[in-house]
Amino acid sequence: MMRAIRGAALAQALARLRAPWACYSRFSVSQPPQTARLYLVRGRVQGVGYRDYAQRVASALGLTGYVRNLDDGRVEVYAAGPPEKLSDLAPALRKGPRFSDVRGVDEQEAAPRHYSDFQIEV
């Protein structure tokens, strides 16, 4: 009799091992909506630590994307993440680091792309 009970318990345990995620099927794990924005920053923004500043701020906000210098003297910032975090990034980009002189920031929607972190591109 004991052997039959052990066998049934073993069969149940093996069934659970085959589908370990089954116990979570009742729960919905939702990701926050991801949006992306492209910022073009103009003014004295190259050679003053602007890319490093943008990378530090965006990383602190948990955003992913990149920052890079453009040939025309502007800086391009692509950031993806929750809309409220992107809203926090925009005023920081308008302020810039200590020795910069931001004259304007053009902002537009962008297609979300996958980046593992926020990077400085050369």
pLDDT (tens digit, 9 = 90+) per residue, 9-59?
Answer: 666 665 655 555 555 545 445 555 689 999 999 999 999 999 999 999 999
User: What pLDDT is attached to residue 10?
Assistant: 60
pLDDT 10s digits, 70-97: 999 999 999 999 999 999 999 999 999 9
Radius of gyration (C-alpha) of the chain in whole angstroms: 24
How much is the pTM?
0.74
d(CA 14, CA 98): 62
Burial letters for 52-62: b for 16+ Cβ neighbours within 10 Å, e otherwise? ebbbebbeebe
Active site (annotated) includes residue 68: no
In the set 51, 68, 94, 98, the catalytic residue is: 51
Closest CA to 90 of 52, 46, 39, 44: 39
Active site (annotated) includes residue 44: no
User: What pLDDT is attached to residue 2?
Assistant: 47
Domain boundaries, the chain: 35-120
CATH number, domain 35-120, options 3.30.70.100, 1.10.150.20, 3.30.70.1730, 3.40.50.2000: 3.30.70.100
Percent of the chain predicted with pLDDT > 70 = 73
Give the HSE-up count for residue 16: Cα atoms under 13 Å, Cβ half-sphere.
Answer: 8
Average of per-residue pLDDT across 104-117: 95
Judge whether 117 and 67 are in contact, CB under 8 Å. no
In the set 44, 56, 69, 94, the catalytic residue is: 69
